[in-house]
Amino acid sequence: IGVGKQIILVTTSQKLTSIAFNDMNPFPSRLLRNRRVLHLERLQAELRELEEQHKEFITESIVRKDKELDVMVSEDDEDL
């Protein structure tokens, strides 16, 4: 292939690439970036909520165990 044909091929491929990725692209990078940010914010909010629920569960679990121990000790005291 001659130099002239290579230049034409390069510019043609650059034009095709530009058309394919800029003009015809159904998912422009700005849209994808915005959707990623939105999705990340939702996931982080959900994670914070789950962490709060986990903390509440652990706290309730500790309180429940303490009450069970108190009841067991009370029952043992009655046997004396």
Contacts of 1 (CB under 8 A, 6+ apart): 9
Q: Are 1 and 9 in contact (CB under 8 A)?
A: yes
**What SS3 class is residue 80?**
coil
pTM (predicted TM-score):
0.52
- Is the pLDDT score of 9 beyond 60? yes
pLDDT tens sequence across 24-42? 777 778 888 999 999 999 9
- Of 51 and 29, the structure prediction assigns the larger pLDDT to 51
pLDDT given at position 69: 72
Contacts of 9 (CB under 8 A, 6+ apart): 1
Query: Would you state the pLDDT for residue 5?
Result: 61
Q: Is the pLDDT of residue 23 over 80?
A: no
Helices (H) and strands (E) in the chain, counts: 2, 0
